[in-house]
Structure 1
Amino acid sequence: MTYDESRPGAADQLAAIATAPDLSRPASARERAAGLATLAVLYAGLVVAMECDLPRPAGIAVFVAALALLLAWNNHHDGAARRRPQTRTENAARFAAVCLLALPGVDLIFGEGPDTLVAHLVAAAVPTAAAAVYLVLRWKR
């Protein structure tokens, strides 16, 4: 800007501030309810699928569906307009959730691993907990 150009007035500056996006907008109640429902479906679906000793194609389908749930939330937060960028902690939590899905995935796809209910509950809880950490971190601001 050169000195001979007119500067915007105070009213114009306040109007520009008012129209700026609010990046600290918290998640809506609807988004939080959808996130909790996703976590419940993820956990219950993984436990039930591991307990049923599904054939390999069905196990692969359950694994892909669980992966799709996690990636859908990642995509939602990456593409959401007027939301703050991801922090390092959030990136680590969402990466961990996807990677830790391999714990129940080994049982679902290959049928290997302990066949006890406790082992299935723990294997499903680990990626679900990582996904919960990610969602809560995204909701808090």
Structure 2
Amino acid sequence: MKRNEPLTGPADQLAVITAAPDLSRPASLGERVVGVATLVGLYGGLVAALESDLPRPVGVLVFVAALVLLLRWNGHHDNAARRRPHTRLENGARLCAAALVGIPGISLVFGDGPDTFAAHLVAPAFPTLAAAVYLVLRWRK
């Protein structure tokens, strides 16, 4: 046997490819419902927390809870069986979602920022929108 000879024939290679798992399993309906509920809870929770003048320790807990919520979705998709790897766009969206939690987080942790109702509606929209983009990108086939 020479060095450059294939170890198996074309039929054997095709059988190996055919037996490989399919990585295009779509998200279930339950996962999509929980994802939408997560987005509604994230946005509503952050708006309610910003509007209710929380003490600093509670604001820190709300900020950490929002961050953990987003990171749990990242972990779920990283560890889900038979899912395709993340694309660059998906990686960017999940990084942005985690980083943009800092916009309402500044007000929650430090009490800084505008105290208008409009600002309290807009600030949580940024991480929620980034999380929605990430989830929709992951749910496509």
Could you state the TM-score of these two structures normalised by the residue count of structure 2?
Answer: 0.89
Taking the TM superposition and a 5 Å limit, the aligned residue runs for 1:1-141 are: 16=16, 19-141=19-141
Report the CA distance between 1:21 and its aligned residue.
Answer: 1.3
Report the CA distance between 1:20 and its aligned residue.
Answer: 2.2
- Between Structure 1 and Structure 2, how many residues are aligned? 138
- Looking at structure 2, the residues matched to 58 and 84 of structure 1 have their Cα atoms a distance apart, in angstroms, of 38
Report the CA distance between 1:9 and its aligned residue.
Answer: 6.6
Report the CA distance between 1:17 and its aligned residue.
Answer: 5.1
Report the CA distance between 1:25 and its aligned residue.
Answer: 1.4
Could you state the TM-score of these two structures normalised by the residue count of structure 1?
Answer: 0.89
Aligned pair in 2 of structure 1 residues 118, 6: CA closer, same or farther (>3 Å)? Answer: closer
Gap runs ≥5 in structure 1:
none
The two structures, once aligned, show a CA RMSD in angstroms of 2.0
Q: Deviations over 1:49-107 (max 9, x none)?
A: 00001000000000010001000000001111111000000000000000000000000
Gap runs ≥5 in structure 2:
none
- Looking at structure 2, the residues matched to 128 and 52 of structure 1 have their Cα atoms a distance apart, in angstroms, of 19
| AA of the residue aligned to 1:55 | P
- Looking at structure 1, the residues matched to 57 and 19 of structure 2 have their Cα atoms a distance apart, in angstroms, of 51
Q: Identical aligned pairs, as a percentage?
A: 63
Aligned pair in 2 of structure 1 residues 86, 116: CA closer, same or farther (>3 Å)? Answer: same
Query: Which piece of structure 1 moves more, 16-25 or 77-86?
Result: 16-25
SS in structure 1 opposite 2:46?
A: helix
